[in-house]
Homo-oligomer: A and B are copies of this chain.
């Protein structure tokens, strides 16, 4: 069980939640078999709540303070305090920790319904064709003019694979066959998880969809690493190329943590943590 011990909020929209396990566990910090342990430090993220629900390049300035602690702590960010009204009855919300819960929620003062926030899944395809990779140049913000793999938000009613196929059709007018899940990359700071599937073109036809200005097959040596749209794409492509060098692609899980004080356009300013291969 988690116990909220600190909530930092201000009228400027900066929100930070800090959680601590009710029963301190000396020398028992949870860990992952990973490059960077978690829960062993106390980290406070401050970022404008208004920027927490934009697309994956919406890393803005944030501060991270790190102090060692023998107890187990979890930080959580969100813009729950901007959810002012109940979406079901229109009543005004209050922002409190409900009975039996551990986190501040938006609770309707009229009908009592609770609004939850949850991370979103972004689904896409890494399409292999004749030892090349299909990429799209974005025609919309964020990161307009930069290159990405076709990907977008998973919708209610579809599977991740169906969503990845749909996004590929929408962005590159390309029909693909999904072959395996290549990477799951969590980005906790912005509440997103990327799910990238390996896929093959069903035919050699593709063209830019409404959100793309250009679609192109790139040899691995020619991938436009200097003009990629997102850190998630940089990580995905790097992992893929590393795998290809030594054999064939594996499944990767990892957490992309942006370096403190960097902007969204600094796509190399991240650490890949808790990286595991299957």
Contacts and interface: CB of A to CB of B under 8 A. Distances in A.
A120 interface: yes
A251 B197 CA distance: 14
A21 interface: yes
Given A74-B166, A100-B210, A170-B2, A202 B89 contact: no
Contact of A157 (B1, B39, B77, B83): B77
A218 interface: no
Contacts of A72: 169
A196 to B, nearest CB: 12
Which residue of A31, A115, A157 has the most chain B CB atoms within 10 A of its CB atom?
A157
A181 B180 contact: no
Contacts of A209: 1
Interface stretch (A184-192, A223-231, A233-241): A184-192
B210 A1 contact: yes
Interface stretch (A63-71, A171-179, A260-268): A171-179
> For this complex, into which size category does the number of interface residues on chain A fall?
35 or more
Given A90-B90, A157-B76, A178-B32, A278 B251 contact: yes
A170 B169 CA distance: 41
Contacts of A32: 161, 165, 177-178
4 tightest Cβ-Cβ pairs between the two chains A and B: A76-B157, A85-B90, A251-B278, A159-B186
Interface of A: 1-2, 17, 21, 25, 28, 30-33, 38-39, 45, 52, 72, 74-78, 82-90, 92-93, 100, 103, 106, 115-121, 153-162, 165-166, 169-170, 173, 175-181, 184, 186, 188-189, 191, 193, 195, 202-203, 209-210, 250-251, 253, 255, 274, 276, 278
